[in-house]
Structure 1
Amino acid sequence: MRVAVVGGGPGGLATLKYLATAHQFFPGMKPIEVKLFEAEDKIGGTFRYRTYEEGELVSSKFLTCFSDLRASINEPQFMKVSRYLEYLEEYCNRFDLFRHMHLSTRVVSITRQGKGHVIRYQPTAGGDEEDWSCDAVSICSGLHVKPELPTIPGLDKVPVVFHSSEFKSREQFGKDKTVVILGVGETSMDISYLAVTAPTKRVVVCHRSGWSNAPKFLPETDFLPFLSSKSSIRDPFKDSTGIPIDVAYGTIFDTAYVHPILRDSMFQWHFHNYVFGGSLPWVMTGTFLAWDQWVGRPQHANHHAARAIFNKSNRAMPYINAPFRRVGQGPLSERIRAKIFNTPCIDTAGRVIDVTSWPTHIDETGRMHFLANGSPEYERMKDDIVRPDVVILATGYRKEFPFLAAQDAIAAAAAERTKTGTSPPAPDRRPYARPETANVRHIWARDDPTVAFIGFLRPTVGAIPPVAEMQAMLWVVNMVQRFEPTATIPGLVAGKNRLPALRARDQWHYMLLRDAKDRVRDVIDHDSYVYQLACDMDCAPSITDLVQISWQRGWKRGWNILPCWALVSQINTKFRLRGPWAWDGAADVVHGELWTIIERKGSVIGIFLQTAFPFAVFGFMNLLCWIYATVLGLFGIEAVGPYTPVDEVDDDKESR
């Protein structure tokens, strides 16, 4: 088998690793001949070429690191981007991946040839184009490559305008300048913080429809603050030993061991929305909007856990909140709450980040005008005169695949000839799919499984690299069973040596309910998605499996395997305990590293609200669903939950 990988970011590296090592896991198959093509001269993708001063990951080391190369216990909870690049280099060296790479090599086109594909590539520095034929292609070119540039009349009147992908350091703000940043994603928040802590005159952030703030990890919170000797003016994150929120929640009965009726309902979404999205932020910070967020309310449709993309870059929030924060003021309920709980806040020394609506235009005098949307932030700013010296477009990216254009042209010409009756349809004249039409677990198209799109889903609270790793694991197993019929795939469905049917009805529950008009639509719940892929590969351990593993390891090295599996988020190493990709070191990681996560749940929030309370509620609801389904089953009636198909395919058709 020959396979091409396009892109040298984390998703491409994970895919390359599983392709290059597949023969070590599946007896009876030959090593896969694999080549990775990367246009830049180094690996790392957007982490290397589109990062900036003080760049830090918003996902924790526990979740972000790949399953079989874990970060040191002494590593900070959140890696600096520079350290993460070193980690990726270590990953490549550990698994001898560099020998498969063609760096500084641009993929010119990918076209079909019979049942396979032809990769046409060229050295970035110039030279002759060459072709390489292969059986399958994994496209891992990334979400953050081609900037999305808005059209704003009069923008050319601003002296300095550039996209956030070009931002590198505070020096680009200049001195005593008015800086306007368009967009409220995590990059915007990072840049806003750098701007307000630089010698700028003014910093303004503009948003279209609000955002939802969430802390990267639980900050230090004072219980009965009037009894505490600590000042309420301090950084709540500086000395906090809180647990990162992306690994904070237990999974048993939430994303694992969930009855299909409950899984396919909105109950769990509503629970998370009202408990963790509203009540808990109010109790701890005084606002129902989001965690310590006093302005920038999302539009109504997206102000729900089932729709919101959470922003975990928090350093700018104290400066944004400053004009609006009213802790301990107003209604009696708020004054009582503030006497019981208080989350401290830093002293902004009079600096603020002004927030307002999206600009409509810039007039002849250079004044920026904003959309009158009636929001509190607009009302505060509507009479201000804002003449930006620097505008930074933190407006995201769009997906483009120029190397697929050649096949699109071939397909269009063939379709025209077929329409006129001059040429019959042929398999090698079809266009390629795109990520949004990859209708099998959002990885490959049902009728074109040899082309995968890895790393194009965005988790709302999670990380793309571990999602890409799980996608690669599933796709590679699918390719092995397709091209290597003599290979033995351990752990699959009672020795049938095939993946279970990948049903469409198991697909929608992990997707967020985004509208067609939303710019970012392919958003997932991280834990639900990776657990679904684990079930698809038959590598999600059962309670029986976990008890057996614990017994084999003995009490000292195995007593905590089950609680670590149940009470920590879906970290990929859990799915290396058994199944096709079983790894000998997985149990040690679960026993050691994952236990340190549980040890951090030492607070009321960590133990009760994030663990015991959801466990009790979801456990009870699962029990009710099981009783209901069992009773109906006695009468020969199948109990199914609400089901919304995600595509037009037959739900019962298997995806291979």
Structure 2
Amino acid sequence: MVRRVAVVGAGSSGLVCVKCCLEEGLEPVCFESSNDIGGLWRFRENPEPGRSSTYRSLVVNTSKEMMCFSDFPMPAHFPSYMHNSQLLQYLRLYATHFDLLRHIRFQTTVLSVKQRPDFSSSGQWEVVTESRDGHREQQIFDAVLVCSGQYTSPVTPLKDFPGFETFRGQYCHSWEYKDPDPYQGKKVVVVGIGNSGGDIAVEISRAAKQTLLSTRQGTWVMGRTSSRGLPVDMSVITRPVALLTAVLPRRLLSWAIERSLNQKYDHQLYGLMPRHRIMDYRPLINDELPVRILTGLLVMKPNIQEFRGSTVVFEDGTTEAQVDAVVFCTGYNYSFPFLPSSIFPGPGHELTLYKHVFPPWIECPTLAVLGVFQVIGSIMPAVEMQARWVTRVITGFIQLPPKEKMLKDIEKERKRYIKGHPCPKVASLQLDYIPYLDDLAGQFGVRPKLLRLLLRDPHLGLSVLLGPCTPYQYRLYGPGQWAGARQAILTQWERVAQPMKTRAVPEPPSSRLPLLLALSGAALVVAAVCARNNLQDLLASPSN
């Protein structure tokens, strides 16, 4: 009998889960509370409680070749770093291509997910949903995949700032922020320096009279491009870099990377210098923040100590008077109100998951939470790998270890990350991109076989071994093998270049200098060898 699987949410994670269920012969039913797909990437003018929200100008921080699904490359004409509307367009193309929409029930909210009385033997769940017209329905499912995301419950820590009740200006969370128009000509304080905080502070600084960016810890800042202006993630998310990260001391790696970043702009001089090392926490991806600081349109400040009406007092004793607005970019609590408290106690609590997916306390591994992690890399391919692995577990092709072993593995990972993340909740979310993908992929035979590739197809093998770890690598072998994976890997740089070929440019002038240098070098080598031989002959000749 075909197993029915409930998928909660039709964002990027929910869509790929539906597809993976279909590939494994399962019957997915996806419940989406809104009237459309896309989740976080669907811009809405007015944010809706309980749903993710984004700002109008948002551009992704990972390049298209690194963030696409493994058997569906982004359109070649799309830019490497896309506006949120283009990513939504990609998700629509994906859903249409794999015929996913007919498995989605829109405007249907999941109210509760509970174990059936015979759960220990059946592994089944009772799922209660409510449609737009208020009709409630209870259904039985063999498995539940939670894909509702981690950006639905904003954290606005007003109680952490004494005197905030005396502030009479406007304030909001980044979840509510849409564009800088309301801040035209005003003095604005942005609190928090994650990726949203950096983007929003830069954007507001173009409209506001003065923008101040307040941070407790500081941050390391990287741009989206590396050498020759190519996408930075395609340069650093590679297997050689992952190997160096695994074998070299973290302090040495941090020193080398920090030195490189400081060569571009001195983080101490710019007021950005963080307390943590670069290897301990994700950097801020932002191309414009240092420039805005350099022009004086954005001012870095420490954490806020207190509010005194419209005056903001910072921890270093400095004050800023006549502040008109505050934007809190202070993160989110993941929230799953429909799950039993035995699995998820509530917002603010640490979520304990084996391989960042399965609650280890459940007798039958038929409930999985996907996409709740933090990584230096792209989330979408990592969630896709989770979905491929999870559906193999549900169908019984993969067996999870005993609960004790899963808990031991979770604790080992937590201790590994706790040094750079004193907060256990944050530490529990961290993972290393390539090792994580390889770990899951190896459990069902889709990890790239590097030696075989190098022997049988050297061109492809070298691209996989030395090039960017694009998602296509995990479609070369095993279940879900895709015939187009090889071609996708070998043409990935062509798709990076295509959207920029919008103007005919002259070829660079040919130069004989490299040839002359090569010939000169060869001549020097020959001369050195001849001189060495002549010297040996001289030493070997009898003296007169």
Q: TM-score, normalised by structure 2?
A: 0.79
State which of 149, 153, 172 in structure 2 corresponds to 1:142: 149
Q: Which residue of 1 aligns with 2:300?
A: 355
1:107 — aligned with what? Answer: 110
**Contact 2:9–2:30, Cα closer than 8 Å, also in 1:** yes
Counterpart position of 2:389: 474
Q: Distance in 2 between matches of 1:535 and 1:447?
A: 24
Supply the distance in 2 between the matched residues of 1:16 and 1:531 (Cα, whole angstroms): 22
State the match for 2:311 in structure 1: 367
Matched, 1:246 2:161: no
Structure 1 window deviating more from structure 2 (507-516 vs 110-119): it is 507-516
Q: Cα gap change, 1:511/1:57 in structure 2, threshold over 3 Å: closer, same or farther?
A: farther
Q: Contact (CA 8 Å) 1:250, 1:567: kept in 2 or not?
A: no
Q: Which has the larger radius of gyration?
A: 2
Structure 1 position 36, deviation (Å) = 0.8
Is it true that 1:442 corresponds to 2:356 in the alignment?
yes
Give the residue type in structure 2 aligned to 1:367. Answer: T
On the 8 A contact 2:222/2:261 being kept in 1, the answer is no
> Post-superposition shift, 1:288?
6.6
| Matched position secondary structure for 1:540 | coil
CA-CA distance at 1:436 after TM superposition: 4.5
**Distance in 1 between the 2:460 and 2:415 partners?**
26
Q: Structure 1 residue 170 and structure 2 residue 180: aligned?
A: yes
Of residues 86-95 and 559-568 in structure 1, the stretch that sits farther from structure 2 once superposed is 559-568
1 CA distance for matches of 2:78 and 2:164? 43
Measured on the aligned residues, the alpha-carbon RMSD in Å equals 2.9
Structure 2 CA distance for partners of 1:252 and 1:186, relative to 1, 3 Å: closer
Q: 1:178·1:202 contact (CA, 8 Å) conserved in 2?
A: yes
* Closer, same or farther: CA 197–51 of 1 in aligned 2, 3 Å: same
Aligned to 2:189: 180
Maintained 8 Å contact 2:220/2:267: no
Tell me if structure 1 keeps the 8 A contact 2:351–2:425: no
Task: Give the structure 1 partner of residue 421 of structure 2.
Answer: 515
1:140-163 per-residue CA deviation (whole Å, 9 max, x = no partner) reads: 111111001112233342321111
> Contact (CA 8 Å) 2:35, 2:107: kept in 1 or not?
yes
- Whole-angstrom distance in 1 between the partners of 2:320 and 2:466: 52
Report the counterpart of residue 341 of structure 1 in structure 2.
none
Count of residue correspondences: 470
Cα distance, 1:515 vs. partner? 2.9
**C-alpha distance in structure 1 between counterparts of 2:475 and 2:95, whole Å:** 19
Equivalent-residue separation in structure 1 for 2:425 and 2:255 (angstroms): 26
1:214 lines up with 2:222 in the alignment: yes
Q: Aligned to 1:574, what secondary structure does the other structure show?
A: helix
One-letter amino acid matched to 1:147: P
Change (3 A) 1:565 1:510: farther
What displacement does 1:520 show? 3.2
Change (3 A) 1:253 1:205: closer
What are the superposed Cα offsets for residues 63-107 of structure 1, whole Å, 9 maximum, x if unpaired?
111111111333211011010001111110011110110111111
Deviation of 1:314 (Å) = 2.5
Checking the alignment, whether the CA contact within 8 Å between 1:560 and 1:595 is kept in structure 2 is no
Match of 1:310 among 267, 283, 305: 283
Residue pairs, 1:402-551, within 5 angstroms: 402-404=337-339, 407-408=340-341, 431=343, 436-448=350-362, 449-459=365-375, 461-481=376-396, 508=413, 512-513=417-418, 514-517=420-423, 520-521=426-427, 522-547=429-454, 550=457
User: What's the secondary structure of 1:62's corresponding residue?
Assistant: helix
For 1:168 and 1:383, locate their aligned partners in 2 and report how far apart those are by CA, in whole Å.
30
Q: Which residue of 2 aligns with 1:568?
A: 467
- Check conservation: 2:76, 2:496, Cα contact below 8 A: no
Letter in 1 for 2:274: P
Match of 1:338?
none
Secondary structure, aligned partner of 2:489: helix
Deviation at 1:581, TM superposition (A): 2.1
Counterpart code for 1:403? F
Query: Residues 220 and 283 of structure 2 are in contact (CA less than 8 Å); yes or no, is this contact kept in structure 1?
Result: yes
Give the one of 116, 120, 128 matched to 2:128: 120
Quote the residue 2:171 is aligned against.
161
- From the superposition, tell whether residues 509 and 181 of structure 1 become closer, same or farther in structure 2 (CA, over 3 Å): closer
Q: Take 2:254 and 2:374, find their aligned partners in 1: how far apart are those partners?
A: 19
The one-letter code of the counterpart of 1:205 is L
Deviations 1:261-286 (A, max 9, x none): x94x6x2533431222x23224x425
Gaps of at least 5 residues in structure 1 are 23-30, 220-240, 323-347, 373-381, 409-429, 483-496, 551-558, 601-656
Query: Are the equivalent residues in 1 in contact too, given 2:201–2:211 (CA < 8 A)?
Result: yes
Distance 1:196 1:470 in 2: 39
Q: CA deviation at 1:384?
A: 4.2
Separation in 2, partners of 1:187, 1:176: 21
Structure 1 equivalent of residue 256 of structure 2: 275
Contact 1:40 1:105 in 2 (8 A): yes
CA displacement, residues 79-137 of structure 1 (integer Å, 9 cap, x when unaligned): 110100011111100111101101111110000002210110001x3322101111111
Match of 1:589 in 2: 488
Report the Cα distance in structure 2 between the residues aligned to 1:433 and 1:67, rounded to whole angstroms.
34
Tell me whether 1:97 sits opposite 2:100 in the alignment. Answer: yes
Q: Which amino acid aligns with 1:247?
A: M
Q: 1:192 and 2:201 equivalent? A: yes
- For residues 161-187 of structure 1, the C-alpha deviation after alignment (integer angstroms, 9 at most, x for no partner) is 1111111112121x3211111110111
| CA pair 395-515 structure 1, distance change in 2 beyond 3 A | same
Amino acid at match of 2:36: K
What amino acid does structure 1 have at the position aligned with 2:28?
Answer: V
Quick check: 2:8–2:14 contact (8 Å CA) kept in 1? yes
Contact preservation (8 Å) 2:472, 2:489: yes
Partners in 1 of 2:452 and 2:459 — Cα distance? Answer: 14
Which amino acid counterpart does residue 128 of structure 1 have in structure 2? Answer: H
> Following the alignment from structure 1 to structure 2, what is the Cα–Cα distance between the partners of residues 582 and 268?
36
Q: 1:274 to 1:107 in 2, by over 3 A?
A: same
* CA apart distance, 1:548: 6.1
TM-score when normalising by structure 1: 0.66
CA displacement, residues 490-545 of structure 1 (integer Å, 9 cap, x when unaligned): xxxxxxx8789997669739964443437633122222221222223221122333
1:145 partner letter = T
The equivalent position to 1:285 in structure 2, one of 264, 267, 274, is 264
CA distance in 1, matches of 2:492, 2:9: 30
Output aligned runs, 1:5-20, within 5 Å.
5-20=7-22
CA distance in 1, matches of 2:435, 2:321: 44
Measured after TM superposition, the shift of residue 480 of structure 1 is 1.5
